[in-house]
Every structure is written in C-alpha cells, then in structure tokens.
Chains A and B, each alone.
Chain A
Amino acid sequence: MHVLRETWLLLIVSLRSLRKRFDVALVATVGFAGVVLVLVAVLSMAAGFRHTLHATGSNDVALVLRKGSGAELSSTLSLDQARRVGDAPGVAVGAHGPEISPELLVLINRRERRSRILANVPFRGVSASAFRVHPHIHLVAGHLFKAGLDQVIVGRAAEESFRGLRLGDHFTSGGVRWRVVGVFGDHGGVHASEIWTDLPTLESAYRRGDSVSAVYARLVSPAAYPRFRANLLHNPELSVSVHREERYYAHQSRGLDRFITIAGTIIALMMGLGALFAAANTMYATVSERAREVAILRTLGYHAAAVVLSVVAESVLYALSGGVLGALAAFLFFNGFEASTLNNFSVVVFRFAVTPSLAAAGILFAGALGLLAGLAPAVAAARRPIAAGIRAL
C-alpha cells in the first residue's frame, strides 16, 4: 500500500513539472496518436466492407446458381430452370405462389462522381417477387419502376457515387435511355450499390434471351434449407449449386477483410515500435531531469518500486492520451468515409466503420506500447545510485 501511495505522489510531482518537458511529452503523445490513427483507420476500412456484406444476406433465403459458377455474374440459368426452384420443398408460399425471385445481373460502366473512374456498376433485373424475397429493400424516394418503360430505381449508395443516377436523371446503356424514377435503401447491404429494373426489360436491352443469373428463394424457415438444397442437387434436370444467402455474401468479404487486417496489423506493429522508441526517449529525458529529486526522495525512504511504477505509469498515461487522440481523429476523419472496391468484378460502395471496439482496441494497443516503453527508463531510474543522483546537475 505504501508503495502505491509513493508511486502516486511521484507521478503527481512529475506531472506538475510537465511544462519543462512539454516538448518530449508532446512527441510521445503524438507518436502514439499517429499509430492508433493509422491502425484504427485501416481496420475501420475492413470493418466497413465486412459490415456491408454481412448486412446483405438473410439466413432464410437461399441462392441458386448454375453449378460450377462461384458467383451470380458467371452464372446462367434458363427461366424454365428458375421456375423449377419454386417446386422444391421448403420454399415459402405466399398469396402470389412460391416466393422465388429469378434475377439477372449485368454490369454497366458508370463514371464515379469524384474520381471519374469508370466503375462496373451492377444492374439487376427483377420481378415483383424480388421485394417479397428481399424485404429489406425499401424505397426512400420516388416510385417503383413500371415494367416496359425503361425505368430504373437506384440504390442510395449508387445514387451518391455515380454520375447520372440521381432521381430524375437519364443515362444511356445497352442502346436504351433509362430514367431514374426511384431510390432505394438496403439497410447497409450491397444492393445499395446497384441499379434495379424489371427483368424482361433488362433481358431485352442486353440481349440475354430469357436467361437469369440466379434464383433467390425465401424458405419457410432457416431449418428448411438442407432439404431444399438436397432436393435441388439431386434433381437430374437441374445442374445447380445452392447457397445460403447470408453465408454467400459473408464469405465474399473474407479475402479482402483478411488482407486488410493482416496488412494493417503489420503496419501498426511496426509504427508501434517506432512510437515505443520515441516514448522511451521521452521517459529517459524525464528520469534524467528528475534524477536529483528522485535521489532525494529515495534518501527519505521512498521505495525503488515506487520509482519504477511512477515512471511506467507516466509513460502509460502519455500512451493512453495519445491513443484517445488517435482514435478520436480516426473517428472524426474516417468514420462514414465512403469508399468502393470490386467484389466479383462488381463495384461495392461501403463506408469506413470506426466502431467502439476498434477504438478501444487501438487505445489498449497504445497502452501496451506505453507500458513497454516505460520499463527500461524506469528500471534505469530506480537503479541509479542515490549518491550519483544527488550530485547530478
């Protein structure tokens, strides 16, 4: 208990003389802030992308693709095959028959508003059933497209990011002049980066006959999936692969998520080592300046452990304040920052997500670095012979 009280007093005394060492303290703090800023910013990019893909699928919806195609874009099914999916057991049946949604996915070039890059924007042809199978899709402005009138609705992220996609705008693609008549949201999912229109119009504009890319089916319950899947896989007239929608989208985020997380962690660890050096520098300066007062306190009976603890505590204090500053800066500059990448050749717009857990992880990381940085100078301070300390300066 004694030691702790002495530590506390030593720390207070040290902090009171902070003005003299303001420069070194600032360097240490800013060093930690830089590390945490980069770490949290990079990881928030991975988190944002992950959230977008995880927000897309539900676990009671199944996705049927052609066998051998890993993604919607490379999959083709005939409308006839698509209808058979509705006959499989486990498909929910509503007032309009089986709840299946045959969809065609085409990519079209649109210029990004800010960067002027030509992006591969997904253009999806759907029928009325799509809005029952994907109930999270909701109109936020305008109205739904009317079949055969070359009207489209655009996802909120697509409207923001690409030229010619604002409500009321026209754009030409596939020889058709499309009109944007509505804007929809997807509760943070990938469909918000897409353009939707009615299936036959899209099929004829891009000369796809009556083919579709995929069939989404709403099941009576998540538990109905195995039976549904087994039935389709064993149907000799179909050659398809079946996925849970939730897992299909979540799976797509894995590669990039892992890449960013590993790269970000390596960068942060190395920057952390640099910040650790800077902080150790600071603490060496501190202990050498306070050598005399530490020696006097030691003669008065202060414990060596108290000296060690107080120096480490001061270092951790710089680290934590730097960490908080860095996390705050990451939140201010990067939270909600809009970016896009390609996922299966299709553009996905997502927002950086500086979550509380990421910020906390960053601050804790800084704290650990501060602890390490304080150790060597602290031990050096405690080990210094008292006589030498008193003579100093």
Chain B
Amino acid sequence: MTRYLPLVRAALARRRARTVLTIGSVLIAFLLFALLMSVRQAFLGGIRAVGKRILITANVVSLVSPLPLADRTIIASVPGVRRVAYEVWFGGYYRRTGNFIFALAVDPPTFLAELRGELGLSPRARARWIADRRGVLVGNAIAQRFGWRVGEVIPLRSNVWRRTNGTNTWPVRVDGILRPSEKRYAQLALLHYHYLSETLAKNTGLSGKVSLYRVEIAHARDAAAVSRAIDARFANSPDPTRTSTARTFLLNFLDQIADIGTIVTAILAAVFFTMLLVTANTMARSVRERTAEFAVLRTLGYGPGRLFGLVVAEAALLVGAGAVLGLLLGLGLVAVLHGLLAAILPGLALPPSSFALGLALVVLFVLASSLVPYLQITRLAVADALRRE
C-alpha cells in the first residue's frame, strides 16, 4: 500500500491550488457540520437523558392551566406510581422582566427525590434548603450570571403572582448552587411551594393549585398504562388531565418552538450536496488530466482495480484531510461559542456520535466522488490514450 503513496502524493501535488481549495471546501462543510450538530445537541441533546420513569400530568386544557393540589393523593393511589412531586411555574425575573429566571415552586423532599443525582447538589446544601422555607436553590449558570453567592438574600420577582402585601417580590436566601451534569438544570431556581402559597394574595386563583405533577413510576415499561390510568381517574372531574412521559412532554414543547432537527438536516443536506459536487468534480478532472499517465500504468501491468484503488486513495486523502481539519476546527469553535453563548444556548457541545456520523459521511463521499473516475478508468482504451499524448 505504501508503495502507492508517492503516486498519490504526486497526483495531489500536481495542481496544488486545486488540492488546497478542494480540501478547503470539504473543511468548511465539516466545520458547519460540527457547528450545526452542536446547536442540535443544545436543543435536543438532554432529552434522551430525561428520566424514563417520570410522567408529567398537566391540565388537558394546556400547560398554563393549573390542577388542584388535591389530585396528588389520587395520582399516588394509581397502581404503578411510586412518588408524586408537583411544581408551580413562578415566572421569575431579577430586577428587570428581561432577566428571566426559570423558577419553580416545589415540594422540596419529593422533587429532590425524583431528580436524585441529576441536580448536582451537595448533601449539606440539600439539608439546608429543605429546612429553610425561604430558601432557594439556583443553577450555577444563573448564579454566575448575576453573581449570587450562598447565603445571599435575593429579591426574586414574579411576572405571574402577587403577594398579600401587594408586591410581586419574594426575598429568598440562596441555600445552595446546583452543579448539574445536564445543562438544562443549570438555569433552574427552586423555591418552597409553601412559602409561595402562604404569602400569595387571596384572589390570585392559585390557592390549592399546582402547574403540573411529576409522577415517578416503578417501571418504565408501564408508562403508557399508568398514564391512561391517571387520566381515567380525572376524566369526569372539573379538571381532566393529560399525562405523558417527561420526554414526550419536553419534545412537544421544543417542537412547538421550532423543528430544529429538520432545519439542521435541511441546511446540512444543501451544504454536503454542494461539497459532493466540488470533490467529485475535482476527482473527475484530476483523472481526466492524467489519462495518459493511467495508460502508462496500465501498460506497466496495473489492473483497473489497482488504478481505481489509487483514485480512491487520492479522494480519501482529500476528503479525509478536510473532514479531520473541519471537525477539529469545529471542536475549537464550539468550545469558544460555548463560553460566549452560555446564557442563551446552554449545552452547546459536539456530541460524540457526530464523529461516527462524520466518518460515515467521509466514506460516502469518497466512494461517490470516485464513481465518475471509476467509469473513466474502466473505459480507458490504452492505445488511444497513449497516442493522444
């Protein structure tokens, strides 16, 4: 194999500008590939990690309509249900409405029990918060954004709720910082449900209500049956429910914002189609220019298979070099963007699976761009080609 290396090198060095430019356009394609896969990951990445044994029970009307807190005991009695947590959408912001904070008021013990290790919370902070009714846990992303420290008291405001004293400000003490592996939780702030419900102005409509239930079930395989059973219990109540897995619930919400998957795929299809044209054309031209050379090699005893091998090696070098450089550059760029966009697009990272997909694309492109040269070689009439020189 190494015997052919000089031949391949000579072929690529034949037109240096062309080689560099072709590698350049492959590089760009794979750089875009790395970027877009990272964006896709930021939007959809954590979803597979969402607990398979967590169901979300929400009001059938929509996710902004509340459910009675009394439903909790009914849900807990459904066979297959292990634990029921609940949360209230706080609609939090800090100082200005633009400083949105994804804040939830929850029942601390059950909420923490369901998310277990996912939140990255120290046992001490956990105990401190559970005991501190006016305490709050904040994700490290927002703690960093606003410079909050443990022990500090924050005036957290709500764009949904009002207090008995007429304001919409709840002073809360930071009891702990969440350092989650899953970036989604780095934006979270958690308050005590009872602190909120006891200080709430009377006519707000929340008394005895929650936004949704997080239901932990014993076995993931029972998700569909348990969901149906829960919804059946409330079918004839004033507030019928819709229960789905946490994954379905989250996916549906993201799908409403945008079909990121389709958009990314469509753009990448356009990029790679163009790139395929470029490399395939380069290979075809390179082979056509060297028709005489190939004829000489044929007379020296190289079969069509070996000649085709040469072409494939050449294409593999072009595409491979471009792909490796593009992915490496992409990794660097994503790392930089990750720092810059932490507040807008957390979780921007190139998923490991994209390297496998990238490799598959390289193989596909090498083969596809060698197709025309293959036909040129097999149809090579040696005598003709030599005479042409």
Our verdict on whether A and B bind, yes or no, reads yes
Residues of chain A whose beta carbon lies under 8 Å from any beta carbon of chain B: 23-24, 26-27, 30-31, 34-35, 37-38, 42, 67-71, 73-74, 76, 106-109, 115, 117-120, 173-175, 206-209, 239, 259, 263, 266-267, 270-271, 273-275, 277-278, 280-281, 284-285, 288, 339-342, 345, 347, 376-377, 380
A-B contact pairs, 9 of them (CB 8 A): A34-B270, A34-B274, A42-B267, A68-B168, A209-B205, A275-B274, A281-B25, A284-B17, A284-B18
Could you count the A-B residue pairs with CB atoms below 8 Å apart for me: how many are there? 151
Report the Cα distance A281→B28, complex, angstroms: 15
Separation of A115 and B262 alpha carbons in the complex (Å): 12
A277 partner, pick from B22, B63, B267, B281, beta carbons under 8 A: B22
A30 touches B61 (CB 8 A): no
CA distance A30 to B272 in the complex (A): 12
Q: A27-B281, A31-B274, A277-B22 are in contact. Are A173 and B61 (CB under 8 A)?
A: yes
Q: Tell which of B61, B267, B270 touches A106, judged by Cβ atoms closer than 8 Å.
A: B61
A107 contacts B62, CB within 8 Å?
A: yes
From B22, B35, B64, give the contact of A73 (CB < 8 A): B64
Q: Which residues of A sit under 8 angstroms from B65, Cβ to Cβ?
A: 106-107, 206
- Are B29 and A274 neighbours in the complex by a CB distance under 8 Å? yes
Q: Give the shortest distance, in Å, between A245 (CB) and chain B (any CB).
A: 18
6 pairs of A and B residues whose beta carbons are closest in the complex? A274-B28, A107-B62, A277-B25, A70-B97, A277-B24, A34-B274
> Which one of A37, A70, A120, A207 lies within 8 Å of B270 (CB-CB)?
A37
Chain A residue nearest in CB terms to B240: A175
Report the separation of the CA atoms of residues A376 and B278 in the bound assembly, to the nearest whole angstrom.
Answer: 19
- By a CB distance below 8 angstroms, the chain B residues around A345 are 63-64
**Known contacts A108-B62, A206-B65, A284-B15; 16 further A-B pairs (Cβ under 8 A):** A27-B281, A73-B64, A108-B61, A109-B63, A209-B203, A263-B39, A270-B28, A270-B35, A271-B271, A273-B24, A274-B24, A274-B29, A274-B32, A278-B21, A278-B274, A281-B25
Residues of A within 8 A of B278 (CB): 27, 31, 274, 277-278, 281
Task: Name which residue of chain A comes closest to B271, CB basis.
Answer: A271
What's the dominant secondary structure at chain B's contact region? Answer: helix
Residues of A within 8 Å of B255, CB to CB, are 115, 117
B282 neighbours in A (Cβ, 8 Å): 281
B274 and A274 contact, CB distance less than 8 A: yes
Closest A residue to B17 using CB positions? A284
User: Using a CB-CB cutoff of 8 Å, which residues 318-370 of chain B contact chain A?
Assistant: 344
Residues B64 and A271 in contact, CB atoms below 8 Å apart: no
Across-interface contacts of B238 in A (CB, < 8 A):
175, 207
CB–CB B21/A284 < 8 A: yes
Contact A119 B256, beta carbon cutoff 8 Å: yes
CB-CB contacts of B235-263 with A at 8 A, as 1s and 0s?
00010101000000000100111110000
- Chain A nearest Cβ from B125, distance in angstroms: 30
Inside 8 A of B160's CB, which chain A residues have their CB? Answer: 69, 74
B166 touches A69 (CB 8 A): no
Interface centre among B97, B166, B204, by most chain A C-beta atoms within 10 angstroms, is B97
Please report which residues of chain B, range 38-65, place their CB below 8 angstroms from some CB of chain A when the two chains form the complex: 39, 60-65
- A233, chain B: closest CB distance, angstroms: 16
Is the CB–CB distance between B242 and A109 below 8 Å?
yes
Expressed in whole angstroms, the Cα–Cα distance for A168 and B22 within the complex equals 60
0/1 string, B80-114, CB within 8 A of A gives 1: 00000000000100000100000000000000000
Interface contact B32-A270, CB-CB below 8 Å: yes
B153: Cβ under 8 A from any A Cβ: no
A274/B271 in contact, CB under 8 A = yes
B4 interface residue per 8 A CB criterion: no
A37 to B159, CA, bound (A): 41
The CA-CA distance from A347 to B284 in the complex, in Å, is 50
Bitwise, B188-228 to A at CB < 8 A (1) or not (0) is: 00000000000000011100000000000000000000000
Cβ–Cβ contact B21 & A24, under 8 A = no
Contact of B274 with A68 in the complex, beta carbons under 8 Å: no
- Report A-chain residues with C-beta under 8 Å of the C-beta of B273: 34
Contact B25 A267 (CB under 8 A): no
Assembly CA distance A143 to B337 (angstroms): 53
Residue numbers in B under 8 Å from A280 (CB-CB): 17, 21
Complex-state Cα separation, A71 to B238, whole angstroms: 27
Contact residues in A for B232 (Cβ distance below 8 Å): none
Question: How far does the alpha carbon of A30 sit from the alpha carbon of B257 in the complex, in Å?
Answer: 32
Nearest CB of chain B from residue A384's CB, rounded to whole Å: 13
A347 to B62, CA, bound (A): 12
Question: Is B31 close to A, CB under 8 A?
Answer: yes
Decide yes or no: A30 and B242 within 8 Å by CB, A270-B31, A270-B32, A271-B271 being known contacts: no
Nearest neighbor of A275 in chain B, beta-carbon distance: B274
Q: Which residues of chain B from 272 to 316 have a CB within 8 Å of any chain A CB?
A: 273-275, 277-278, 281-282, 284-285
- How distant is B118 from chain A, measured CB to nearest CB, in Å? 25
In the complex, how many angstroms separate the beta carbon of B32 from the nearest chain A beta carbon? 5
Find out whether the CB atom of B257 lies under 8 angstroms from the CB atom of A34. Answer: no
